[in-house]
Amino acid sequence: MKRKIPARPGKKSEFFELRLYVAGQTPKSLTALNNLKKICKEHMDEQYRIEVIDLLANPQLARGDQILAIPTLVRNLPTPIRKIIGDLSNTERVLVGLDLGTPDTVAGAL
Partner 1 sequence: MKSANGKNGAPPQLEKSPTGIEGLDEVTGGGLPTGRPTIVCGGPGCGKTMLGMEFLVRGATLFDEPGVFMAFEETPEDLTQNVASLGFDLKDLAARKKLFLDYVHIERSEIQETGEYDLEGLFIRLQHAIDSVGAKRVVLDTLEALFSGFSNQGILRAELRRLFRWLKDRNMTTVITAERGDGALTRYGLEEYVSDCVIVLDHRVAGQLSTRRLRIVKYRGSVHGTNEYPFLIDEHGISVLPITSLGLNYHASTQRVSSGIPDIDQLLEGRGYYRGSTILVSGTAGSGKTSIASHFVEAACKRQERCLYLSFEESEAQLARNMRSIGVDLEPWVKKGLLQFHGIRPTEHGLEMHLARLHKMVDRFKPRVVVIDPITNLISGDGDREIQSMLMRLIDFLKANQITAVFTSLTVRGKHAEQSEVGISSLIDTWIVLRELEENEERNRGLYVVKSRGMAHSNQVRQFILTDHGVKLVSSSQSTGGRLTGSAAKKNRPEPAIEQKKRKQKRQGQQRSAVARIRKTAAADQGKPFLTRAAGENR
Q: Could you list the residues that contact partner 1 (CB under 8 A)?
A: 21, 23, 28, 31-32, 55-56, 59-60, 62-63, 66-72, 81-90, 93-94, 96-97
- Compute the least distance from the CB of residue 15 to partner 1, in Å: 20
- Compute the least distance from the CB of residue 3 to partner 1, in Å: 27
Nearer CB in complex with partner 1: 9/80: 80
Nearer CB in complex with partner 1: 48/67: 67
Q: Among residues 82, 58, 80, 64, which one has the least CA distance to residue 72?
A: 82
d(CA 63, CA 23): 14
Nearer CB in complex with partner 1: 3/23: 23
Distances (CA, A) of 67 to 13, 79, 102: 29, 18, 26
- Compute the least distance from the CB of residue 90 to partner 1, in Å: 4
- Compute the least distance from the CB of residue 58 to partner 1, in Å: 9
Query: Are the CB atoms for 55 and 62 separated by under 8 Å?
Result: yes
d(CA 22, CA 77): 19
d(CA 33, CA 35): 5
